Each structure stands twice: as C-alpha cells, then as structure tokens.
C-alpha cells in the first residue's frame, strides 16, 4: 500500500495480490520483510530520522494499517 500511496484496499488489490504470492518460511520472516520495506521507504522520504537498523528495532514504529488494527479499521 505504501508503494502506491493509498490505504484503499480496492485500489491496492493488484499490489496486494502480488505480495500474497510471496513465500516466507514463517510469519516473523514476513513481518521483518515488510517492516524493513516500510523503514526503507520512510527513511528515503525523510519521515523517519535514523537508520534501517534503528527503525527495525523500534517497537513503536509500524504502518498505519497495523497501528489501526488491520485493514478496514
């Protein structure tokens, strides 16, 4: 959703479908992958002051979908 700049799940459906096809060994690996991507995006947009490592370690850093309790909330 960050990639296309919206939280509208209908507009993001193609992107969501692509991401659902990715294979991860477990939920933790998937969460790390997506958190790293979000960290990279926010750092490149200069909306997070820090490194990727500090972002990954920041337990309070999360995307709005997670912060709001999931899609549709």
Domain chopping of the chain, boundaries = 25-67
Contact between 27 and 21 under an 8 Å Cβ cutoff? The reply is no
Give the model's pLDDT for residue 45.
93
Tally Cβ neighbours within 10 Å of residue 8.
10
- In angstroms, the CA 67 to CA 19 distance is 20
Residue 73 pLDDT greater than 80, yes or no:
no
pTM over 0.75: no
How many angstroms from the chain centroid is the CA of residue 51? 16
Give the model's pLDDT for residue 1.
47
Tokens found for residue 33:
């992958």
Over the stretch 9-65, which tens digit does the pLDDT of each residue have? Answer: 677 778 777 877 778 889 899 889 989 999 999 999 999 999 999 999 999 999 888
Reported as half-sphere exposure (CB side, CA atoms, 13 A), residue 42 has a value of: 20
5 or 25: whose pLDDT is higher? 25
């Amino acid at each position: 959703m960050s990639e296309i700049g919206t939280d509208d799940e209908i507009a993001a459906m193609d992107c969501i479908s692509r991401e659902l096809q990715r294979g991860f060994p477990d939920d933790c690996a998937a969460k790390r992958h997506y958190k790293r991507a979000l960290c990279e995006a926010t750092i490149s947009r200069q909306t997070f002051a820090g490194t990727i490592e500090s972002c990954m370690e920041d337990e309070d850093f999360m995307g709005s979908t997670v912060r709001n309790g999931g899609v549709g909330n």
